[in-house]
Amino acid sequence: MASEGTSEAKPWRALPRDPVMIALTLLVIVTMPSQRRVAGPLTLSDACLLLAFGYLVLMTIVQRLMRRADAPRLVIPPAPFWIVIVVVALCGVRILASIPDERKAAEGERDALAAEYAEAGITDQESVDAAIKESVPDVDTQAKERVKALAKETVQSIEFFVIAPFVLLNGLASAGAIRKGIGLWAGMTVLVVLHAGSQAFVGEGGDPMGVKSLFDSRMVLSGYLAMSVPLLWGLAMADWRLWLRVGLVAAAVLGLLAMPSFGGFWGAAVGMAAAALALPGGASCRVGRLLAVAVVLIVAFQTAPYHQEFRTQGVALREVREGAEAGELSISRKYSEWQAAYNLMVNMDGERALGSNFVLGFGPGRYNTIDTFGGFLDVGKVEAESENQYLVIGVTLGFSGVLALAILLGSGIRGAARALRRGVEYADAGIAAGLLGSIVGTAVVSFYTTPIVRGVGVTLLLLLCAAMALPEADTDTEPSRGPRV
C-alpha cells in the first residue's frame, strides 16, 4: 500500500487508468504527422483530438456525479501552457480595446480633411468623399479582419495549449502509456521518413521543393524531421533489441538524407548531439556517442542530394512569388523579412529604444499583413512556412509571447532532464534523452521555419507533454526489458 509521501510525490497519478482514454490518445498520435484536411482547416488529428477531449470531459463529469472513490485524478496541464494562453488573452484584449480609439481617430481625421477641402473651396461632395476615403483607412473593415484573425488564432491556441495538453497528459499518465505512445509515434514517423525518402531519391528527385511527404510544404516537413530525428536517435541508443536499434538508426540517417532544408538539417544535428550528451553514461560513452553523431552528420551532409544547396543556403531562401523565374534564388529577401519583423517588434516608431508594441505585439494573426506596417517590408511573398518562429511570435504577441515560448520549451527540457536524474529504466532513459534532443532541435529549427502550425504543432505538444509527464508518471506497470540507470 502506497504511503502518503509516495502519493504526494506523484501528483499526476491517475489510477485506475481508462483504456478508452489511452486508445483515443494513441489514435491522436497515429494521425499526427499529416496536414490533410477533413473539413475546412480541420485536420484528421484535430478531429481526433477534439473527440478525445470530449470523452475526457464527459467521463470526468460522470465520475464526479457518481462520486467514485477510485476515479482517476484529472491531470491539469502545468503553468507553462497557461502562460501562453494568458499572453494570447492579453494581446486579444489589447486589440479589442484599441478599436474604439482607432475609430475615433479616423473620424477626427475625416473631419479635418473635410474642413481643409471646404476651406480650399472644393464643393463637389462626391469628389471630397472619394478623396477622404482614399486618404483615411476604413477602420471598420480593418477591425472586422483583425477580430476574425484574433478569433482564429485564439481557437488554435486553445487547441494547442489547452485541449492537446489535457488529452496527452491524461492519456499518457503512466510510464507504460508513454512507451506505447512514443513507440507508436516512432512507427508513424518512420513511415513519414520512408515517404520523404522516396520523394527525394525515387523518380526524378533532385528538387527539395517536391519533398514534403504528407505535409503542405517542405519547410513543414523540415520542422517535423528536425524534431523527430533526435528522438529516433535517442531511442536507438538505448533500446536493447539490435534489430530495432539498427532500424531506428537507418530511419534517422534517411531522415537526414531526405531533409529538404538547411535549417532542418541544422536543427536535427544539434538535437542529436544534445540527445547523445543527455543519455547517462561515463565520459568515454558520451564522447563515443558524439563521435558517432559527427560521423553520421558528415556522411549525411556530403551524400544528401541537396548538400550543394545547403552549402549556399540558396534553396532554403528561395523565393516563390508570382512572376518569379523558375529556379530563381534570393538570399537577401529572406533576411529582409527577418529585419523587418525585428524592426516591428523592437522599434516601430524609431523614436524610443523600444516600440509601443514590444511587450504585447500587434496582435494574433497579424504577421501576414506585416508589409502594411510602416513600410518596413517590401519584398514580395516568400516561401510558405519559411518565417522565423520567434519573430512571428515577437511581432504578433510581443516579447511576452517569445518569453512564454521559451518557458514552455525550457520546461520540456527540464522535465526530460529530471526523468534522467530520477533514475529510470534504460529504455525510458532513451526516451527522455531523445525528447530532450527533439525539443532542443525544435528550438533551433524555429529560426528557419514555424513548427507551431497544424500537422506539426500537436507533435511538438506530444514531445513537451511526454517530457513533462515522464518524471511524474506511474511506474506501477510491467517494466520494459533492460537495465536501469
Quickly state the pLDDT bin for 45 (edges 50, 70, 90). confident
Counted domains in the chain: 1
Distance CA 440, CA 226 (A): 9
Q: Does some domain include residue 256?
A: no
Q: Does some domain include residue 48?
A: no
- Highest mean pLDDT: which range of 9-23, 69-83, 109-123, 193-207: 69-83
Secondary structure of residue 194 in the 3-state scheme: helix
Secondary structure of residue 136 in the 3-state scheme: coil
Q: Does some domain include residue 105?
A: yes
Residue with cell 477534439: 50
- Nine-digit cell string for 75: 491531470
> For residues 48 and 27, is the Cβ–Cβ distance under 8 A?
yes
Quickly state the pLDDT bin for 319 (edges 50, 70, 90). very low
Helix H or strand E segment including 42: strand 42-43
Q: Does some domain include residue 18?
A: no
Quickly state the pLDDT bin for 474 (edges 50, 70, 90). low
The DSSP bridge partners found for residue 37 are: 43
Query: pTM (2 decimals)?
Result: 0.82
In the chain, the largest separation of any two C-alpha atoms, in whole Å, equals 93
Q: Over the stretch 139-174, which tens digit does the pLDDT of each residue have?
A: 677 778 778 888 888 888 999 999 999 999 988 888
Q: Of 214-223, 298-307, 393-402, which gets the smallest average pLDDT?
A: 298-307
Q: Does some domain include residue 154?
A: no
Estimate the crossing angle of helix 283-303 against helix 242-257, to 10 degrees: 40
Q: Does some domain include residue 97?
A: yes
Angle at 446 between CA 445 and CA 452, to 5 degrees: 120
- Highest mean pLDDT: which range of 145-154, 160-169, 205-214, 416-425: 160-169
pLDDT of 321 > 70? The answer is: no
Residue with cell 511576452: 400
> For residues 260 and 306, is the Cβ–Cβ distance under 8 A?
yes
> For residues 212 and 31, is the Cβ–Cβ distance under 8 A?
no
Average pLDDT over residues 311-327: 43
Residue 37 phi/psi, 5° resolution?
A: -85, 150
Query: By C-alpha distance, which of 149, 138, 213 is closest to 363?
Result: 149
Quickly state the pLDDT bin for 480 (edges 50, 70, 90). very low
Helices (H), 159-174: 164-171
Domain span including residue 137? 85-147
Helices (H), 324-386: 332-346
Burial of 459 (0-12, 13-18, 19+ CB in 10 A): buried
Q: Does some domain include residue 143?
A: yes
Residues 6+ apart with CB under 8 A from 29: 181, 184, 185, 188, 462
Q: Of 153-157, 427-431, 461-465, which gets the smallest average pLDDT?
A: 427-431
Quickly state the pLDDT bin for 204 (edges 50, 70, 90). low
- Nine-digit cell string for 354: 523600444
Quickly state the pLDDT bin for 414 (edges 50, 70, 90). very high
Name the average pLDDT for the chain.
77
Angle at 152 between CA 339 and CA 438, to 5 degrees: 60
Q: Over the stretch 26-40, which tens digit does the pLDDT of each residue have?
A: 999 998 888 777 777
Position 3 scores a pLDDT of: 40
Estimate the crossing angle of helix 79-119 against helix 125-135, to 10 degrees: 150
Q: Does some domain include residue 132?
A: yes
Quickly state the pLDDT bin for 374 (edges 50, 70, 90). very low
Secondary structure of residue 476 in the 3-state scheme: coil
Position 376 scores a pLDDT of: 41
Quickly state the pLDDT bin for 187 (edges 50, 70, 90). very high
Average pLDDT over residues 2-27: 60
